[in-house]
């Protein structure tokens, strides 16, 4: 456990030594906030609410979902540079490196969410629920990001090259975040896709966060399905499911992995 924290500290130290990384990992979500707010905001009709209120939960979830990319790319870089080999030759527990990595990426998520939230406030985002609900919303976001990070561990340790990690993740996460209620109503989609969107963990997360931030989810709930009725429960189930599946797989993979 201590070993994991030391590895995590290494990642945070990297941010100090190379602040560009932090800047660029926050600049993209901030850019998304601004683009969606001003490009789609005018085009999407949201009776009774500003688009930005609905947008912010969506973009928060998208950002933490991309933790899978950060983790995968970071780990596969460590692998190709031989750092993982060095770690594996040390008398530390077999889970320390991946644990540290996921904790590090989770910490980075906190910073990114804060910056995004402040940007959101600047462009008119005002969550209307109480402080506790809002905190619970952010807690869920971090938890979801952490679960996604473990998915990233498996990808990062499985691919042979960082570029592959990058494209694998984007091919998977990009559609996942857009085939959802994050940015636009799912009602505009063809019927089969609506079901996919409805059951998509990104949608349940977004719907859950919206309700925690005191909004009605105008972008979902077409099919009256279980996930759209109980977004928070469903999201928590997804989070647990992802962790239960990917943590053991990732640790197992780490034990066996050898670069190239």
Give the footprint of other proteins on this chain (CB under 8 A): 3, 6-7, 9-10, 13-14, 17-18, 81-83, 85-92, 96, 258-260
CA distance 115 to 173: 22
Please, are residues 211 and 231 in contact by the beta-carbon 8 Å criterion? yes
The DSSP secondary structure of 64-111, one letter per residue, reads: HHTHHHHHHHHHHHHHHHTHHHHHHTSSS-TTHHHHHHHHHHHHHHHH
For 123, residues 6+ apart whose C-beta sits below 8 A from its C-beta are 33, 34, 37, 38, 52
Per-residue b/e over 1-39, b at no fewer than 16 CB within 10 Å?
A: eebbeebbeebeeebeeeeeebeebbeebbebbeebbee
Task: Give 161 or 171: the residue with its C-beta nearer to other proteins.
Answer: 161
Q: How far is the CB of 113 from other proteins (least distance, A)?
A: 23
| Neighbour tally for 243: CB within 10 Å | 17
Q: How far is the CB of 23 from other proteins (least distance, A)?
A: 14
Task: Give 14 or 133: the residue with its C-beta nearer to other proteins.
Answer: 14
Task: Give 116 or 159: the residue with its C-beta nearer to other proteins.
Answer: 159
Smallest CA-to-CA distance from 231 within 256, 260, 197 is with: 197
Q: Count of alpha carbons within 13 Å of 215, Cβ hemisphere only?
A: 28
Q: How far is the CB of 232 from other proteins (least distance, A)?
A: 38
CA distance 11 to 27: 19
Give how far Cα 97 sits from Cα of 87, 147, 202, Å: 7, 16, 28
Task: Give 9 or 230: the residue with its C-beta nearer to other proteins.
Answer: 9
Q: How far is the CB of 123 from other proteins (least distance, A)?
A: 33
Q: Count of alpha carbons within 13 Å of 68, Cβ hemisphere only?
A: 26
Q: How far is the CB of 9 from other proteins (least distance, A)?
A: 8
Q: How far is the CB of 159 from other proteins (least distance, A)?
A: 13
Task: Give 45 or 89: the residue with its C-beta nearer to other proteins.
Answer: 89
Task: Give 86 or 126: the residue with its C-beta nearer to other proteins.
Answer: 86
Q: How far is the CB of 101 from other proteins (least distance, A)?
A: 12
Task: Give 15 or 237: the residue with its C-beta nearer to other proteins.
Answer: 15
């Amino acid at each position: 456990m201590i070993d994991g924290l030391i590895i995590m500290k290494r990642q945070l130290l990297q941010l100090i030594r190379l602040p560009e990384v932090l800047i660029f990992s926050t600049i993209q979500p901030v850019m998304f906030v601004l683009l969606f707010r001003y490009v789609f905001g005018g085009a999407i009709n949201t009776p009774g609410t500003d688009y930005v209120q609905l947008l912010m939960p969506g973009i928060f979830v998208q950002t933490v979902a991309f933790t899978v990319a950060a983790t995968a790319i970071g780990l596969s870089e460590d692998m190709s540079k031989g750092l993982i080999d060095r770690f594996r030759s040390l008398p530390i527990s077999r889970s320390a490196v991946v644990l540290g990595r996921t904790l590090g990426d989770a910490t980075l998520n906190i910073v990114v969410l804060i910056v995004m939230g402040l940007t959101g406030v600047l462009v008119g985002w005002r969550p209307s629920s109480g402080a506790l609900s809002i905190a619970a919303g952010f807690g869920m976001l971090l938890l979801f990001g952490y679960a996604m990070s473990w998915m990233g561990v498996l990808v990062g340790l499985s691919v042979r090259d960082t570029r592959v990690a990058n494209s694998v993740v984007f091919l998977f996460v990009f559609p996942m975040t857009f085939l959802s209620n994050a940015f636009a109503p799912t009602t505009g989609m063809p019927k089969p896709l609506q079901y996919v969107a409805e059951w998509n963990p990104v949608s349940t997360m977004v719907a859950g966060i919206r309700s925690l931030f005191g909004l009605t989810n105008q972008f979902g709930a077409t099919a009256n399905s279980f996930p759209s009725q109980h977004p928070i429960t469903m999201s928590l189930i997804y989070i647990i499911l992802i962790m239960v599946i990917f943590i053991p797989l990732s640790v197992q993979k780490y034990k066996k992995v050898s670069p190239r």
